[in-house]
Amino acid sequence: MNSAPDPKPRPLDHLTEFGQDEAAALVLRGAVLSWKDLRTRVGRMAAWLAERVPEKGARVATWAAKGELTCLMPLAAARAGLVHVPINPLLKRAQVAHILADSGAVLLLATSARLATLQDGDLANACDAIAEDAAFVAIDEFEGCLRPSQWDAEELAALLYTSGSTGRPKGVMLSHANMWLGAVSVAHYLELSADDVTLAVLPLSFDYGQNQLLSTWYEGGCVVPLDYLTPRDVIKACARHGVTTLAAVPPLWVQLVEQDWPIDAVTPMRRLTNSGGALTLDLVRALRGKFPGAKLFPMYGLTEAFRSTYLAPSLVDSHPTSMGKAIPFAEILVIGEEGDVTASNEEGELVHCGPLVAHGYWNDPARTAERFKPAPSASHYGGTAVWSGDRVTRDENGLLYFVGRRDAMIKSAGNRISPQEIEEAALTSGFVAEAVALGVPDERLGQAVHLVVRGTRDEEGLRASLRRDLPNFMQPQVIHWVETMPLNPNGKIDRATLQAELAA
């Protein structure tokens, strides 16, 4: 690898140009695609998409498990001049209907079982829906092939929907440059190479999950996508495929270190990466003990700017609670209340500047203006920055440390969860009159969802309704029934009091 990453972005689909023809690029459940196969399949899928959706910049969505469709679509849609909208396969029809309507998607490719859950009105904007199997029959019969394109690197390539502390999921607008430079940056600091094998266990609808593909392919390596049911599935896949790179979130790491790992799963491992929540001291020690030959990379990021910081493996033992320093192409400033860079060990807001900053929220200028603001005057890059809402400090050595968040976001098992989305589902169930969703510290999940409600006390009916309308990771672990909700001086529900009571 070069001593410094190449800062020049290219169209996303050019990632297919890197690997050697006969080397493995993608290991699927029933097939292995070589790099030659990958180029052919992406070109054919892109040609089929371009004919079916000729309008450049139109949105095409996928809602399926990990496989050829979800792995190749980021590159094929980009090559066809379209904007990919990957939908988390765990979401239920209500969330999917919102994403389709909000994005203005004109095409949805999904598994037959998922399509069968949609109801009348869920496919808005004249969105066409095609089952995954039927789509591949059409693609396989299609004779055209599109070569790598020359799109403007600042054109949109994807909308990644992420939950905020209020409201429904919002689409983060990512350009070819955002995703390309993210791949280059991560490939560089992880020191990936063409003989690396990455086990992709994270959802491909997340930026962290999608980068598993893109950074590995940038170096010509091989990706093994896996939808796992148990931690043992992950361990078996590592042994079977000689996995060298494993990315996960803290709740999964907790489960993995509790397992016995055979030597053939441990020996090939070169690196472990973590994001979506901080590693505890005990977990760091457990990972270092379980994988003594692997480098551990704790990382911090946000979808609005992809990835912000990483801690060098050489510093993990001496500074295990640090977020590290800025990744390549990122400028990270800690800004105080007066808008100036803070002094060492002084708390401030983490502000991310540079070319990894997304283009805002799709079709939502109000929320874009709240989060995407002019960079501080101290910024080298200038332009637009992401004001994260996260409170951090920076020590004398330049290492960052997380303090807390300003908003009410719940982060459970690596998922960013909007309290309001859970509350709306509870209120529409008909069983409650008031509802507040909160995150309570949990050793395994990071935060567990607790729901405080005032209503009929029909917990069975409420839970049945929530199971119907919300994905599993949004289900409340505990439901607290109250006679009255505490109010603040403004007459609003006092969330801080409820949070303190649950924590007591």
Helix (H) or strand (E) holding 33: strand 32-34
For position 167, what pLDDT does the model report? 62
What is the number of alpha carbons within 13 Å of residue 435 lying toward its C-beta? 27
Averages of pLDDT over runs of 10 residues in the chain (504 residues) are: 72 93 96 97 97 97 97 97 95 92 97 95 88 96 90 93 73 96 97 98 92 97 96 97 95 90 98 88 91 96 92 94 95 95 95 97 95 96 95 95 77 85 89 91 91 94 95 95 82 83 86
- pTM assigned to the model: 0.87
> Domain residue spans in the chain?
12-394, 410-503
Tokens of 152: 């403007």
For position 8, what pLDDT does the model report? 86
What lies within 8 Å, CB to CB, of 440 at 6+ separation is: 447, 448, 449, 450, 478, 502, 503
Beta bridge pairs of residue 246:
199, 272
Q: How far is CA 180 from CA 192, 299, 462, in A?
A: 15, 19, 44
- Count of beta carbons in the 10 Å neighbourhood of residue 381: 16
Same fold, 12-394 and 410-503: no
Q: Name the CATH architecture for the domain at 410-503.
A: 2-Layer Sandwich (3.30)
For position 2, what pLDDT does the model report? 43
What is the CATH code for 12-394? 3.40.50.12780
In whole angstroms, give the CA distance from residue 315 to residue 296: 10
For position 487, what pLDDT does the model report? 80
Asked if 340 and 333 touch (Cβ cutoff 8 Å), the reply is no
What lies within 8 Å, CB to CB, of 348 at 6+ separation is: 334, 335, 336, 337, 341, 342, 391, 392, 393
